[in-house]
Structure 1
């Protein structure tokens, strides 16, 4: 390890991005002390199964713990969320008052479930959000066959929970404010395709509709949701799947640039509002808002599993770099499984201004859409055609350099 390398690294966030950064630090030669802070009491676990296998398991939910390398040699401080950062003194404060000094710091706090709009009254019992393992186990206990579930929000999480509940024999209604499920993420064509999958599975889909209130019984338990259409849907259980927000509240007063995530440069170094680098601090995963060449250089926070894995490696390399660190260059990707259909995507479909349909075959569960921005390929999505994504990924890698523009500070 070089003489000026960090001797004490603190990773705030004990989930996928934090663990992968820790592994990468050790793999890249870091021999100093490593402390990993987690708000939850659990060791790192895989989150994608929470809305799928954990909910659909017929007996005990499957084990989702992420394997911990024996050579990680880390101190784990779990169930002790961070509450403050002093970037000048290089200290992190925890909820129990513990003060951690660092030479290198990794911000990997992920994101939290978006709460119900302030206009809604306090949700009654039986209304859930889903972000962590404890949330999933609590929701799973409610998903008995024959019960009525209303899912508010037809994004990836809401759609997956709706599909899981339907497979368990629940009556499911999916409420979505947009014209189609996933419209903001993948556009109207793919969104309409997913809508057809939901309806074919027997899910009641209410689009262009929002929830305006909850109904509850004398026992304080939810009995239904009131809709913007003026009618109501009976419910024994409600899931609010309204998206997520990067977990940055603890950084208030730190002086770092925060807004829809922690602002980073292309190498994942955390920035001050004036664009200068916060020395010794990097970010990775859902919380990191990083310049995206495919989006014209705009900074985006991407809540994808692969993003957390790949950024962990870059964050570690940046923290240990002797000179100018290399930029993060991976092409984003995500996946989802709905009603037996495999949805796979590369690039950034959400930033496209044009969607070109290559194949559309609902009967055989096949879809291929290429997404373009100002005439340039920025993403692709397939259902039942995963092998076709390799060519798109190669093209997107080639286009990244051509699409590189100065990053916006917005």
Structure 2
């Protein structure tokens, strides 16, 4: 087995320690040693570079390549799977080696990555999002027809449900079909035809049922939750992460701290929706524009209070490959660059229950690594494009993949 050593670089190890000079040795897909003066069979000169753990994006949609309703109506059904392959490859090249797909990807896509048929980040998948009738995932249009973003097929069942009994059956079906996480919309959303972001969706008994079923299967629930009441419903019923969290209040933040609930802010998401204005109804674009200031204020308050943050983007609503833009927005909301990187490494790994294997550069962990020219922390406030341009290599399980 070949022992490869990254020498002479600065290591941001993701543990919370300050970045410092260190060598890193990898062998057989694992990190085997971190220290100084290490030797090996092969050497990679990291002088003038920062070595990072492989990064995470905890909220993506790999089968989407932007939201454009008119374009979607003329797109062949199976094209999404080929687009997913391209989107996964693009995401991997940004240094993101693990993602949580929040709806759209089915078991076949995840399995293609696991088997090495398609290069991409390792994946956890939600398959589809539970929605009440008239909720964020109900694609009924005012004209009386339905324009479905995620068309049901044998590996991706429809997921509009009402009442605890329907919830129970649908969660079990999604788990049977390979879901690693259950996703629910406990509020309305921006990119849905009739729902309003401030409105709460699903009642406590329904949310408690989905959490109970997921827990029985050893997995968690993530909640698209923008409005305050939807956030509160999710948190008090044991949902693990709030996605978006646009209308957070002191009460909601306090309850999240009490319960240890994570926030995945997706600050870039409404900006991506606005950029896609030509392909969306005016009502959706107007909703997105109205959210940005409130979203920023809510995330800033959550960060200041100490809510646990993991990085996620909602990529798929906008372009894949721009994922690192989220880090600069987290800094604008009060994080230091090191804290933003932590949100994309160890914190994200903890959210996804992968921290025993990933998220830090420590002996025994899987050798997911990103080599960045220059000081990675200094690049983050300059924006995602600056950090992307500085990436000089990406390794996954010790193999160079970009």
Q: Which has the higher strand share?
A: 1
Q: Which has the higher helix share?
A: 2
Category of TM-score, reference length = shorter chain: under 0.3
Task: Report the TM-score, using the length of structure 2 for normalisation.
Answer: 0.26
Task: Report the TM-score, using the length of structure 1 for normalisation.
Answer: 0.26
Q: Determine which structure has more spread, i.e. the larger CA radius of gyration.
A: 1
